[in-house]
């Protein structure tokens, strides 16, 4: 990339979260100043579909539509019809890049796993029918996600906040997925995540923040610190280049190489991003 400023893509950012209501324009300005050229804003429930779409169009970003596994229990079956209608209505919207955030969560107790599985499978079908990739929520659920993908193949996508075994990672790779790495990778104790980030094929890695969640180690606050009144460590997309330093170190890359590789991988995973990176594209 020569002397050009690195161009970063945050492949997973919840800019619509209430944590940003007080200073969203400043958050966006900091991201642009840091070289984050694009953010992908995944919805987590049907009530948010119009919001993420409007934000993407207002700020020159991208969005995805889906029902998150942690929101399935507060969703109704008709929300799947709302998703189907939205995907059909916006099928030609270049800023709609994926179906997501969808998936399974086997970490949080008390979830209706049968209902979550049904919503996951239904959303895979909608993604397949729409010809769109998916943004997958993976939390102790890799085997279940892979089982669903074998039943209902989709045009690839991103396994977000990736943390799985080497064998599971190999299957995601074989299915054409990219893996998302963010703040968790910056913690030295995240041994498996760091090992995967350093060993997966170079064309499988994308960067993300999951802002305002999964803060990197320099923003993290312990429960004791929070109880003592220290501000919670809100993550934001401007942190992406600093997070990328960790990936660069694990791979033996410089920052320009890291930006070029991860941005190219993001476009390969979510092909509609290519048109949004064009300087001729209006916001």
Q: Which residues are annotated as a binding site?
A: 12, 14, 101, 137, 160, 210
Binding-site residue numbers for a divalent metal cation are: 12, 14, 101, 137, 160, 210
- The H or E element spanning position 113 is helix 113-130
CB 11 within 8 A of CB 40: yes
Our CA dihedral for 25, 27, 32, 36, rounded to 10 degrees, sits at -140
Angle of helix 142-151 relative to helix 166-174, nearest 10 degrees?
A: 20
d(CA 202, CA 55): 31
Enter the tokens of residue 231.
């501000």
- Strand 8-10 to 157-160 pairing: unpaired
Write down the residue that tokens 């995907």 correspond to: 87
Tell me which residue of 31, 273, 32, 269 sits closest to 159, measured CA to CA: 269
């Amino acid at each position: 990339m020569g002397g050009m400023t690195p161009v970063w893509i945050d492949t997973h950012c919840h800019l619509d979260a209430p944590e940003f209501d007080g200073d969203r324009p400043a958050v966006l300005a900091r991201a642009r100043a840091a070289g984050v050229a694009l953010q992908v804003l995944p919805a987590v429930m049907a009530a948010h579909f119009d919001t993420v779409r409007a934000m993407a169009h207002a700020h020159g970003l991208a969005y995805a539509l889906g029902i998150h596994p942690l929101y399935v229990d507060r969703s109704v079956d008709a929300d799947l019809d709302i998703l189907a209608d939205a995907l059909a209505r916006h099928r030609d919207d270049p800023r709609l890049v994926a179906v997501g955030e969808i998936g399974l969560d086997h970490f949080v107790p008390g979830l209706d796993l049968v209902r979550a599985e049904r919503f996951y499978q239904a959303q895979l079908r909608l993604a397949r029918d729409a010809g769109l990739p998916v943004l997958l929520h993976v939390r102790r659920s890799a085997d279940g996600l892979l089982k669903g993908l074998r039943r209902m193949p989709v045009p690839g996508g991103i396994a977000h906040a990736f943390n799985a075994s080497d064998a599971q990672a190999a299957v995601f790779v074989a299915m054409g997925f990219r893996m998302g790495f963010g703040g968790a990778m910056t913690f030295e104790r995240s041994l498996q995540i760091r090992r995967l980030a350093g060993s997966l094929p170079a064309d499988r890695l994308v960067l993300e923040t999951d802002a305002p969640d999964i803060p990197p180690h320099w923003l993290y606050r312990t429960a004791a610190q929070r109880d003592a009144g220290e501000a919670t460590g809100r993550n934001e997309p401007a942190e992406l280049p600093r997070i990328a330093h960790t990936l660069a170190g694990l791979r033996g890359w410089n920052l320009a190489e890291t930006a070029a590789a991860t941005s190219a991988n993001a476009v390969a995973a979510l092909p509609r991003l290519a048109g949004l990176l064009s300087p001729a594209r209006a916001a």
